[in-house]
Amino acid sequence: MMLPKFNNELLIEPNYSINQAHELIGKTVQSIQIGYQATGSKVHQTEMLIIAFTDNTQLAISTGSNVGNIISQIQRGDGGKLKPADFHTDLELTWQR
């Protein structure tokens, strides 16, 4: 299977949590947990993984989206104007150090 390609037209802003991925360099993985994140009823189902490292740090990676904005647009009656490009997802990185 081929890896996905980067879209070089979209920029990763400095405040995006994905920038924290650089902290993975040089770490040794001890264990990985996978599953679904416990969320409230107003949040979409989201996959999550927690990577534990031998230096006793952990990284949780989960998914986020703009689904709330999309729901609002549909409720306002603008759902017919939605295009696939209007939907956005992101990776949320959370470290426990």
The model's pTM is 0.81
Is residue 35 assigned to a domain? yes
Quote the domain boundaries for residue 31.
26-96
Is residue 18 assigned to a domain? no
**Residue 34 confidence class, pLDDT cut points 50, 70, 90:** very high
Return the pLDDT at 55: 97
Instruction: Quote the mean pLDDT of the chain.
Output: 92
Per-residue pLDDT, averaged over 9-19, amounts to 93
Per-residue pLDDT, averaged over 37-43, amounts to 81
Question: Total domain count for the chain?
Answer: 1
Q: Pull the structure tokens for residue 19.
A: 């920038």
Q: Please determine, for residue 41, whether its predicted confidence score (pLDDT) is greater than 80.
A: no
Model confidence pLDDT, tens digit, residues 66-79:
988 888 889 998 88
Residue type, 30: Q
